[in-house]
A and B are shown apart, each in its own frame.
Chain A
C-alpha cells in the first residue's frame, strides 16, 4: 500500500511507465488514423515532482498552449491532459476540418469548428488511453466529456494538479509526447491518478504488498 506519491518504489514506477506506454501508444495509434500519418510516442516518463516542478514539465508557464482535459471515474479516478502548442493543434485541426469554419476565425483566434474538432480529438485519444488501461487491469473506467482551454500552459497545468495536491507535497504524473513521421509535435500527454487508484492498479498487477 502506498499512502503518498513519495512512497512509490522503483518497481512501481516501472509498471506505471508501462501503463503510460500502453495508454499513450494506443492514443498515438488513434491520432495516426485521424491525421493519416504515422504517430509515435517519445519514451514515457513517470515523475514525482513538487508543484513548481509539475508546471515546469510543460516549459515556459506563460507560453500559449491548448489543452484538452478529461476526468475519468469508476474503479479508478484521475485526469488525463493532452497539451499541444497552439501551432501544432491548429495544424492537426486544419487537416481534419479541411478549411471549413475558417471564415469565423478571428485575428489570432481559433474557429469554433476547430475548437470542437480538437475537443473531439481529445475524446478519442482519452478513450484510447483509458480503454487500454481498463483492459490491462480489468478496472472499470468511465470518461467525462472533454474540456478545452486555450491559454498560458502554466495556468492550465495548475487546474488538474490541485485535486491531487491535497495531502501531497509531491505529485506523480505519467508523461509522454507525440511525434509524427515528419516532425516532433510540441505535445504532452499527462495522466494524473489519485492514491487509492494507484493502489488498485498496483494490486491488479500484483505489485502491492
Chain B
C-alpha cells in the first residue's frame, strides 16, 4: 500500500517507494527532496530559516528548522534506511518572496537567503541539484513520488509543474 506522508513546517520525512511525500503551501520556506533512484528511498525536508547560527538561545534545538542542519540529518536518516549516498540527487522548491517586498526587510529577503543556504549546504555535502523551481512571489505545494523521484508542484493560477 502506498502512503501519502505529510511533511510539516520545519520537519522532514524519509521513506521509500511506493510512498509519496507531500508538503503544503511553501512560501519563503524551501522544500528539499533527496532521492536515490536505485533503492528508491527519498526524503523531503521543509526548512524555514537558512542557518542555525541565527538562533541565539540554547532552547531552540529544532534542527529540522534550518537548512544547514536539516539536510544533513535527513541524509543520515536516508542512509540508515539504506540509501546510497553517492546516488542521491536533489530537487529544490520554494523560497518565494510572497509580498514582493523590495525594502530589504527580513520578510522580503528570507526566501532568497533560504535558497542560497540550501544550495551551499548541498554543495558542501556533494549532492547535485538536478531540478529546481525557486524564487518569484507565489506559494507552492510539493508532491514527491518515491516510485520514480518525480516532484510535482502545484500553485494557484499556474500550470502544474514537474521536476
Q: How far is the CA of A144 from the CA of B102 in the complex (A)?
A: 12
Task: Count contacts between A and B, CB distance < 8 Å.
Answer: 113
Main secondary structure of the interface of A (DSSP, over half): mixed
| Cβ-defined contact, A166 with B156, below 8 A | no
| Cβ-defined contact, B140 with A155, below 8 A | yes
A147-B8 contact given A61-B25, A64-B156, A158-B25, CB 8 Å threshold: no
Which of A144, A155, A167 contacts B139 (CB under 8 A)? A155
Which of B24, B48, B140 contacts A165 (CB under 8 A)? B48
Q: Mark A163-197, 1 if CB is under 8 A from B, else 0.
A: 10111110000000000000000000000000000
Which of chain A's residues 1-46 have a Cβ closer than 8 Å to chain B?
3-4
| Cβ-defined contact, B28 with A162, below 8 A | yes
A151-B98 contact given A61-B24, A167-B55, CB 8 Å threshold: yes
| Cβ-defined contact, B27 with A154, below 8 A | yes
In the complex, what residues of A have CB within 8 A of residue B96's CB?
A: 155
| Cβ-defined contact, A151 with B139, below 8 A | yes
| Cβ-defined contact, B60 with A55, below 8 A | no
Which of A79, A109, A152, A156 contacts B141 (CB under 8 A)? A152
In the complex, what residues of A have CB within 8 A of residue B107's CB?
A: 69, 71, 79, 159-160, 162-163
Main secondary structure of the interface of B (DSSP, over half): loop
Q: Determine if B100 is an interface residue (Cβ-Cβ < 8 Å).
A: yes
| Cβ-defined contact, B48 with A162, below 8 A | yes
Q: How far is the CA of A163 from the CA of B9 in the complex (A)?
A: 14
In the complex, what residues of B have CB within 8 A of residue A152's CB?
A: 24-25, 27, 138-139, 141, 155-156
In the complex, what residues of A have CB within 8 A of residue B155's CB?
A: 152
In the complex, what residues of B have CB within 8 A of residue A165's CB?
A: 10, 48-49, 65
Q: Determine if A141 is an interface residue (Cβ-Cβ < 8 Å).
A: no
In the complex, what residues of A have CB within 8 A of residue B57's CB?
A: 3-4, 167
| Cβ-defined contact, A52 with B8, below 8 A | yes
Q: Determine if A83 is an interface residue (Cβ-Cβ < 8 Å).
A: no
Chain B residue at smallest Cβ distance from A147: B99
Q: Determine if A206 is an interface residue (Cβ-Cβ < 8 Å).
A: no
Given contacts A155-B27, A163-B106, 8 further A-B contacts (CB under 8 A): A69-B99, A149-B98, A155-B139, A157-B27, A158-B29, A159-B98, A166-B49, A167-B55
Chain A residues with a Cβ under 8 A of chain B = 3-4, 51-52, 55, 61-62, 64, 67, 69, 71, 79, 108-109, 144, 147-149, 151-163, 165-169
Chain B residues with a Cβ under 8 A of chain A = 8-11, 24-29, 48-49, 54-57, 59-60, 62, 65, 96, 98-101, 103, 105-107, 110, 137-141, 154-157
5 A-B pairs whose Cβ atoms sit less than 8 Å apart in the complex: A55-B9, A71-B105, A158-B27, A163-B110, A165-B10
